[in-house]
Chains A and B, each alone.
Chain A
């Protein structure tokens, strides 16, 4: 029997607010232990939580970006569990009335992954286990999170990667989170079950906790899928369990089984009454939504005529997309500008983070000027690309690298003369070309390039040569 993978994700995304969800302490990453703490976020008796307005704004925005319905009357609940990362022995979260419900994330191939719900909650503190002690730092305790719960619509590790990448891009585009997986500001719990191919029933699932790397997510899913199929093929049953993925061995291990599943005893948070969100707030957030990455990619391909692979590379980073659009607005031919960015600018930015930041020394207007000169034939592509690399390295203006006479290119009379020379000196290539070997003409292009030190516009030269022979 063949089996298929069924997976749903619970993704925690840390919101980019300045302060915590229920108090005015900073959300800055790191800091000396327990220096970002107050009576509220350390759960001192009598301290009262007051919800941060921006958490609501950001969560509404995230919900709208994922096509969710917004519950404008919502409330918070206490999720009780006893572990030292929670000073109050409960986490303020949402249970039966999440802020957002029923949306989807579209993958690049068009498949939609359903979003069950998005709720707001507070993050827990950080524990370090050393010697006979557990050391506790509550700086992260109370940092606002949204938990995005997907439907079990993901059917391969590749789709899982696409889903997380889309989610990450969207959250970054709308400015609600930096989604730095390494710093833990985006982390996933991955549910995995298997079922006979073609079946619609859901198998017993296991949950792999706290994954914060795309590669590990893919590996863990592959491992867990194979493990479950093996169990079933041996006539066994899958036991519902919470698992941990060991990055060193590439295997999953049981943390706890259904037997010791926690009873969280959810109940309404008595310190905060029902929250009423006016329709105007939802409308305002909807209005402010930027064009999302996948919409942008489609527009670049269909309207600007950019190849799908290049379009995807540009829209992956919002700052790059903004830069590109500014260059186009300044008059650059879209396709050429995109190729210069992906071919030249990207070669100077080695990491994804550097592309995200895009702090480069060439303005979009300068890029547009260079593209314009290239398109008009005043400067050929090789010269333009090398000038662009030099500008990116030095920060000096275009005029430093492209001499005035270069910008003029080769004048028509001169080009006519050189092309005639090329034809005269390459009788063999001319004969071959005439006999139908189209590629033979490249020998003539080569001649023109050498004779003009690469300054000639080959498109123009091509026309001249073909006229002459």
Chain B
């Protein structure tokens, strides 16, 4: 399975990356190599389902679900420790005008 230039452009837009046409072409080649490598997994799949859940064949029984019981949250300073934060809020550059 090969990826097209248009698909690369769509992905770049979704990932908020800017590619010029030249970069797009080199990226396409590299990306196709990765896809080819990942495609090896197809050889390991038994049957003809494309649904990962059918392949894995696992289920979650109702009885295994979590009871609605409260557990302690993390201290807020720990929650924000790996990110930019002010007064307990995570902060990013303003996303709306």
Contact = CB atoms under 8 A, between A and B. Distances in A.
Asked if A pairs with B, the answer is: yes
A36 B73 contact: yes
Interface size class of B (residues with CB under 8 A): 35 or more
B68 A273 contact: no
A288 interface: no
Contact of A137 (B16, B59, B89): B89
A133 B68 contact: no
B62 A277 contact: yes
A322 B89 CA distance: 44
B48 interface: no
B73 A273 contact: no
A50 B65 contact: yes
Contact of A270 (B52, B59, B61, B73): B52
Interface in B36-81: 51-53, 56, 58-62, 65-74, 76, 79-80
A268 B53 contact: yes
A375 B74 CA distance: 61
Consensus secondary structure, chain A interface:
loop
Contacts of B53: 75, 268, 273-274
B68 A17 contact: yes
A226 B96 CA distance: 29
Given A36-B73, A42-B79, A134 B92 contact: yes
Given A56-B62, A135-B86, A276-B60, A19 B93 contact: no
A405 interface: no
Nearest to A274: B59
A25 B88 CA distance: 17
Nearest to B13: A263
Given A268-B52, A276-B59, A134 B86 contact: no
B1 interface: no
A137 B90 CA distance: 7
Interface in A32-74: 32-39, 42, 50-54, 56
A236 interface: no
A331 interface: no
Interface residues of A, number: 49
B34 interface: no
B73 A132 contact: no
Contact of A268 (B10, B51, B62): B51
Contacts of B87: 33, 135
A24 B74 CA distance: 11
B73 to A, nearest CB: 5
Contact of B76 (A18, A35, A131, A273): A35
Contact of B62 (A33, A134, A135, A276): A276
23 contacts: A19-B69, A24-B72, A25-B71, A25-B73, A34-B80, A37-B73, A37-B76, A37-B79, A38-B71, A51-B66, A52-B65, A53-B65, A129-B95, A133-B86, A133-B91, A135-B87, A136-B92, A137-B89, A270-B52, A273-B60, A274-B59, A277-B62, A281-B62
Given A37-B76, A53-B62, A134-B96, 11 more contacts: A19-B69, A34-B79, A82-B14, A82-B16, A84-B90, A132-B94, A133-B91, A135-B90, A136-B91, A138-B90, A273-B60
Interface of B: 10, 14, 16, 51-53, 56, 58-62, 65-74, 76, 79-80, 86-96
Interface of A: 17-19, 23-26, 32-39, 42, 50-54, 56, 75, 82-84, 127-129, 131-138, 263, 265, 268, 270, 272-278, 281
